[in-house]
Amino acid sequence: MMKRFKERDTGFIVRNVDELPTEKSTCGFRTRLITEKDGNSVSVSHLRISDAQKHYHERTTEFYYVINGEGELLVNDKVIPLKKGVIVMIKPGTIHQAISHNNLEVLIIMSPPVGEVNDQIYVE
């Protein structure tokens, strides 16, 4: 039998996406897996893309790793097809918008962590 542990006492963190709350975000529905409160230089979220808004970040670098579905990422004036296994790095100042065509789900890694800086700028 596995012993229960307190996350802060072990040197590691284990979380299950199915046991965490989901919230509406700029790009859809976000489940925060690792946050700035965990003392990391990155944050990691599971994101179901829905009604994403065009935006950019002043200081944050984002990595979109597709774990399910299909869609596209509009990055500046380019269209990047998204499907399972594709990863895209988006540098600060780059205008982007994700569009789901078939239940697009991505793992988003942000540095610095989302929440540590509020550098999201919406574009019309």
Residue 49 to residues 19, 111, 113, Cα–Cα distance (Å): 19, 20, 19
The Cα–Cα gap between 37 and 16 comes to 17
Instruction: Look at residue 2 in the predicted model and tell me its pLDDT.
Output: 46
Q: Domain residue spans in the chain?
A: 28-94
Residue 93 DSSP code = T
Instruction: Look at residue 9 in the predicted model and tell me its pLDDT.
Output: 58
> Considering all CA atoms of the chain, what is the largest pairwise distance in Å, rounded to the nearest integer?
54
Phi, psi of 108 (to 5 degrees): -110, 125
Say how many Å lie between the first and final Cα of the chain, rounded.
54
Instruction: Look at residue 8 in the predicted model and tell me its pLDDT.
Output: 52
Burial label for 57, CB within 10 Å (0-12, 13-18, 19+), is buried
Per-residue pLDDT of the chain (124 residues; tens, 9 = 90+): 444 545 555 678 888 888 999 999 888 899 989 888 887 789 999 999 998 899 999 999 999 999 999 999 999 989 999 999 999 999 999 999 999 999 999 999 999 886 655 677 888 7
Instruction: Look at residue 124 in the predicted model and tell me its pLDDT.
Output: 77
Instruction: Look at residue 13 in the predicted model and tell me its pLDDT.
Output: 84
